[in-house]
Structure 1
């Protein structure tokens, strides 16, 4: 069974190489890469290239062998980073070995200075300021094909512009770029098999002080409803609750006559609650978490770009926040309430769809109902948009398929009528002009020898 599976995998790799996949590495639309490693590979790549990852000779050779499993070439191995008391190699040297062995023979090796997706604030230590970008793990530096500094994440082997793979594609062509990516893929998979990676409850728990601060802010937030009504409608601070309810009721009844009072009330409520909600998030993430990056698996996934977003972490550990339908707070029924379980014209943020509960400690039935309403809207939007955008794209393609670039440099329709006198009004091939950008000129200058050497071969 295993042998059959391995044969199939090798067959797939060979088929991919025969299919010349790398020729379509860039999207013709805007010149951004379409190939890239995802999810587990990104996590593994970060764990492998952080500064405290060391490998003995056996581990290093195993990873190097797995990376070049498809080739029969002679592999050059870098010397160990630490010699005494025992020989150890760093995870960065694995990347160095892959890039140097995949680069064309006698080619000028790549020089690259770029940023990682992982922010500088991730490397902050409690009680100290965040480090400067220079020579931090968020600054990726390649010198003559060697990874000198920084962690590699989605920004460098994902489907992102101006990363390591994209730069190698520009200097050495698509075969080298796809070969490096394939070697990374096999190496990262093998490393994760022996290292392991899992997410537990410890990754979403917040410290006692942070939780205390969160509860204090929520307590203050729940009382803000009356203050917002007073502020919006210009009432005195000692106005009774009944007066507030009457003012709200008359505002909503007049809303059919196109008054701006309700819009102003919603805007003020959103603004007031939003500021307090931001304070809750700041108190808990990332400084309030018990585990910090990179020991925190959830934060590792989010910060490196493997999977998830800050919103996911906030909804788990902090609060769900304001639920919105069609960009507005949940609408009131004829009786003046969002759900039957609230009083008519209730001023509290909770009655208007604000959820101060979180997934970690559970949410109430009313909160769940609001959350489900927003989820349903998202699903319907997605389902409707896919059919419409698909048909629209088909229409556009059918109208444009007859347009070609002629020998005189003009773009003409099927009947010879001129669409453009020069393709794209500038005559640039999008796939070959991605590095014609002032921000990328320093990279081209640093690799001038490689650009000059391979220019005739590309033609």
Structure 2
């Protein structure tokens, strides 16, 4: 009885006082602030461009953005905040946008890294028995280079402006290796500095997954050309 009377009194307060005017609802392309409690460090509250899905009652998030929020899809509560003035929107588009926050401020390590799908596709692409015809080789290189140009706000990408490598096999068919896709992207990204990009790195794939004596467990790049790995 007591709880019902309290509920009745609270219901009488609905609509009392100064109301709020909703000028418009959120639209696709609006910038929103996203956080998940507890927000303990900078990457746990970032800005994203939203896409409104009609009829949906859940918040969707790309896997690459989950690390900062420590989201693991087990019933996590995600909060969305819509900036109301030009100053807050400007800060959201620049300072707080997820595309501008790839590294953790504490140690500089990447907070938005490759997810499992990217890792698996990269391993399959760079295997020794992966060969691509001209159509698929040029498509992968062109899309990767044009995406980087768009992120840098450079002029639109032209097919003639993309540097390509000669095929590895000429007969019976002109074929390119998957490693040449990586080498072509590195050459286009680095430009004139590609001859100074050389490094030797370890892979996360164990040696036991490769043939005996294989060098694929070591990533070796010489002058922006992926030699093995």
- In the superposition, the TM-score normalised over structure 2's length comes to 0.50
Give the number of the structure with larger relative contact order, counting CA–CA contacts within 8 Å between residues 6 or more apart.
Answer: 1
Larger Rg: 1
Q: Larger strand proportion, structure 1 or 2?
A: 2
